[in-house]
Structure 1
Amino acid sequence: MHVSPDPITTQEQAARERDNLLDHFARGLYCAMASFSGGHGEPGEEALAKSRAVADDYLAAYEEWLVKIAADNAAPGPQ
């Protein structure tokens, strides 16, 4: 089943979605590293803050890539 989310139409919605993505990415990074090193359990605030910083870097790079793709697609002429 395919579920289409409601479109994001405001800066506030975009900021909330970005924040949610960062939380998911940070927890995923923590869980991946914890399972690799044999750890488990809920991440502490410090671990989440460090994971969130890494996730923010990745998300920022992805956003830059999306903007570039959108600009290339909007440019006139052959692609």
Structure 2
Amino acid sequence: MHVSPEPITTQEEAAQEREKLLDFFARGLYCTTAHVALGDSGEPSEEALTKAKVVADDYLAAYEEWLVQLAARNAETDPQ
């Protein structure tokens, strides 16, 4: 199944989507580390999610920077 998201057209939509991604990444980071380190597979606490979101934010910022650089390189490239 292929899911095509609606295009993001406003800064508010972009901010909401970024927050969803941060939450998703933070939960994944928490669950991975908690499962490996503690054998815990329960729901993360708000404190744990807050800490994981800081790490997820760094990853997402680096990814966004990479996308901007990639788009700039692609714009410079001759399509022929």
User: TM-score, normalization: structure 1?
Assistant: 0.91
SS at match of 1:43: coil
* CA distance in 2 between partners of 1:62 and 1:76 (Å): 21
Q: Find the counterpart in structure 2 of residue 25 from structure 1.
A: 25
Q: Which runs of 5+ in 2 are unaligned?
A: none
Amino acid aligned to 1:29 = L
User: TM-score, normalization: structure 2?
Assistant: 0.90
Alignment of 1:1-79 (within 5 A): 1-37=1-37, 38-75=39-76, 77=78
Between the two proteins, what is the percent identity of the paired residues? 69
Q: Which runs of 5+ in 1 are unaligned?
A: none
CA RMSD of the aligned region, Å? 1.3
Cα-to-partner distance string for 1:8-31 (whole Å, 9 max, x where unaligned): 111110000000000000001000
Aligned structure 1 segments of 4 or more residues deviating by more than 4 angstroms: none
